[in-house]
Structure 1
Amino acid sequence: MDTIVSAERILLGPRGHRLVDGAVLVQGGIITDVGPRADIEARAPHDLTRFFYPNSTLLPGLIDAHVHLVLDAGPDPVSGLASTDDTTLGQAMADRALRLLDTGITTVRDLGDRNGLAVRLREDIATGQSPGPRILAAGTPVTAPGGHCWFLGGQAKGADAIRAVVRRNIERGVDLIKVMATGGGITKDGPAIWEAQFTEEELRLIVREAHHAGLPVAAHAHGTAGIAAAVAAGVDTIEHCTWMGRDGFDVREDLVTTMAARGIAVCPAASPDWRGFAQRFGPERAEEMFARMRWMREQGVRLITGTDAGISRAVFDDFVSSLEFFQHIGYSTAEIIDLATHETAQALGIAHDTGLLRPGHRADLLVVDGNPLDDLQVLRKVHLVMAGGRPHLPRTSRACP
């Protein structure tokens, strides 16, 4: 559908660059023109669908770099997954993707599925069979036998088995490789959250296989030993990066310096329930963890936005609460909008076609009621979402096309 979308203001990005009374022309799913509304209208064909939103803001679509569409965000998502067959699970995943789209998210990175279901959903969305954001699918995470998220099917021990899991994912058409470098919280009877699951050489093997196929690697790593091995192996992003040791936090400044120099981004995967997590974890300990994120940013490490949606209490329709975490550690509202669009796109290697409102980019955008530069909560008031040029009116929308 070829369209013109216009609003009182457009956030072109980055650094709060804006246009008053502007419009975006979308043709064939691509932004082909951006400028003052009168100029765009004068240049555009007459037989277009038009969306006009006074008192509203048009901005790039948001990016959630860490979701798990196979999980239901309930009290025990692992048991829920185990009791759900693939057909039912695929339908549930499509509904979760739609909830993400409703909130203005136009790109997600799915970091762990079962049997290639996220890849299938990615194709359904790309071909217009199902509404949703663009999915960057990691497929089945590589993990140790009995390791974190073993139940997804990616257990491997030794070089040959590790290589086989990575190549199976590549054959399924994944967009990246995910490895569980340490234990994790939702795997009962698995390794401790701080415990490394692979050696540095094993992680190097994963990175070599992935990079040879042109794919980035995301490493789940809470523990410092796993973080160190992942950095040495040359992964592209580290998920969580909480610097845990056997006896408490164990931050290594040399690793932070290396991460900043190499451009290894960190996704804190701040749940929408991050405040509740702080209370359960212990406010003082949680604040120490949060302060580490603030410090890493000050040292030049790029942070990116992600929710861990699917984990217990990490729901699929409250992205703004996750963004409030970045407010808590010192980001301005304008910086958060850049972070959730262009900067995360850069870290994921997709900034060439999304994250900004520019001719030639995918038509990934949203319209919200008010000015989010004044108040982050405005991002909750979504009128219109467009992912890859397909207009979507959220189910709670007050949109006026």
Structure 2
Amino acid sequence: MTRRVLAAELVLPGGDQEAVPDGAVLVDGDTIADVGPRDAVIGRAPAGTPVQELGAATLLPGLIDCHVHLVFDASEDPLTAFLAADDAALLPAMVGRAARLLDAGVTTARDLGDRNGLVRKVRDAITAGDIPGPRLLSAGTPVTVTGGHCWFLGGEADGQDAVRAAVRRNLRDGADLTKIMVTGGTMTTTGPRPHQVQFTAAELAAAVEESARFGRRVAAHVHGTEGIEAALEAGADTLEHCTFASAVKGQPAHKHELIDRMAADGVFVCPTFSSTLDSVARERGADTIQPYLDLVRREYEAGVRLVAGTDAGVHLATFEGYAEGLLWYERAGLPVDAVLKMATSEAAAALGVSDRTGRIAPGLDADLLVVPGDLREDLRALRDPLLVLARGRVHVPPAAAERAVLRPQEKVAP
């Protein structure tokens, strides 16, 4: 890692900061040292600093995926593949999936479902610089009831004391946060259904209290309305999926007063839109997805703090398909600037890492992404990352390297 200036026709610093036409960013090691108009940044850079001219491109903060599962392979049947693999086979596959996230421009990801601490091994190897990948936050093994959603990951706990013990075990083993399965889910066909609540109010409160006692956040897997209400009452920090699922599949049971409460409480909601929706649209028609697009638009209009996450690893939710999920938010009617905040500054706030990433500002980590053209005019440019910096470590996605879209720069700061 060295000092360098990256200059592009457009810099989007993120958050509420204004776009910078003909802008530049000075990177010093793993940190952002300066950002602003191109000539000003180059003029302030130490003499001899290399300047990489990116031309007709947008430079923005690295993307954040708030919901991934490195243990799953995003196949037609990820659970069968997972159950058939022992840890020795699973670990190198997870390393490859982390690299694919980086190829997609993701420089921070939160993993919400692990087995035997494998994600933490990948996380620590990335942090040490031994393998490429995004910054990883690991929830460890999700807390669920006996036979509940994702019980096969090993986090079964019944009763307040058992729930507290499960939280403590995860934190003891190095988890960065707690994941709790408030409702059932589609992957676990033998457990409670998505609209059904798995835990009592007291058990949920115990999970949140125990996590907060050690300064950790709680991500709540919730689908049904009753589960959303329970997670809000318990004080969960993020609501994952939040589909308002009812007993009738494909018919979300919207409750406007509950959406208003989500906005008032300031809880973050991660709808987990991904490339899976493309498959659903092809196979069942776009009308199948419309109720969920309408729900997200209502949440946005009500002021709910939405963040981007893909559920990468589950059925056809690919690790390289981050951009596809964002395009569905745009189809739902959200403006481009709001979608980009969901993927950067708002996501960083949800994960508690705003002091490290999510924006381009001096002192923050050098987590950066370069895409072609003006991203404000076409979000599809996110499908084509040209260059990624993860804490200052330069990564050229294989597709970009093959096209040789980046030429060796020859300029230096005066």
**TM-score bin, normalised by smaller chain:** over 0.9
Return the letter of the residue paired with 2:353. Answer: I
User: Which residue is equivalent to 1:203?
Assistant: 204
Using a 3 Å threshold, how does the CA distance of structure 1 residues 158 and 354 change in structure 2: closer, same or farther? Answer: same
Return the letter of the residue paired with 2:105. Answer: G
Q: Once the 2 structures are TM-superposed, how far is the Cα of residue 47 of structure 1 from its aligned partner?
A: 5.3
1:2-401 equivalences under 5 Å are 2=2, 3-14=4-15, 17-46=18-47, 48-247=49-248, 249-278=252-281, 283-284=286-287, 286-397=289-400, 398-401=405-408
Q: Does structure 2 retain, via aligned residues, the 8 Å contact 1:9–1:21?
A: yes
**3-state SS, counterpart of residue 361 of structure 2:** coil
Using a 3 Å threshold, how does the CA distance of structure 1 residues 219 and 336 change in structure 2: closer, same or farther? Answer: same
**3-state SS, counterpart of residue 305 of structure 2:** coil
Q: Does structure 2 retain, via aligned residues, the 8 Å contact 1:15–1:335?
A: no
Alpha-carbon separation, structure 2, partners of 1:40 and 1:351: 23
Q: Once the 2 structures are TM-superposed, how far is the Cα of residue 153 of structure 1 from its aligned partner?
A: 0.6
Q: Does structure 2 retain, via aligned residues, the 8 Å contact 1:269–1:308?
A: yes
Unaligned runs of 5+ in 2: 409-414
Q: Once the 2 structures are TM-superposed, how far is the Cα of residue 74 of structure 1 from its aligned partner?
A: 0.6
TM-score (norm 1): 0.95
Greater mean deviation of Cα atoms: 229-238 or 249-258: 249-258
Alpha-carbon separation, structure 2, partners of 1:223 and 1:57: 39
Using a 3 Å threshold, how does the CA distance of structure 1 residues 285 and 381 change in structure 2: closer, same or farther? Answer: closer
Alpha-carbon separation, structure 2, partners of 1:94 and 1:399: 26
Q: Does structure 1 retain, via aligned residues, the 8 Å contact 2:167–2:211?
A: yes
Number of corresponding residues: 401
Using a 3 Å threshold, how does the CA distance of structure 1 residues 178 and 39 change in structure 2: closer, same or farther? Answer: same
Q: Does structure 1 retain, via aligned residues, the 8 Å contact 2:160–2:202?
A: no
CA-based RMSD: 1.7
Greater mean deviation of Cα atoms: 349-358 or 312-321: 349-358
Alpha-carbon separation, structure 2, partners of 1:387 and 1:51: 17
Unaligned runs of 5+ in 1: none
Return the letter of the residue paired with 1:395. Answer: P
**3-state SS, counterpart of residue 170 of structure 1:** helix
Identity %: 47
Q: Does structure 2 retain, via aligned residues, the 8 Å contact 1:15–1:334?
A: no
Q: Once the 2 structures are TM-superposed, how far is the Cα of residue 281 of structure 1 from its aligned partner?
A: 6.4
Alpha-carbon separation, structure 2, partners of 1:275 and 1:393: 27
Alpha-carbon separation, structure 2, partners of 1:267 and 1:166: 22
Return the letter of the residue paired with 1:75. Answer: E
Q: Once the 2 structures are TM-superposed, how far is the Cα of residue 333 of structure 1 from its aligned partner?
A: 2.0
Question: 1:194-235 CA distances to partner (integer Å, 9 max, x unpaired)?
Answer: 111101111000000111111110100111121111110000
Q: Once the 2 structures are TM-superposed, how far is the Cα of residue 16 of structure 1 from its aligned partner?
A: 7.1
Alpha-carbon separation, structure 2, partners of 1:112 and 1:72: 13
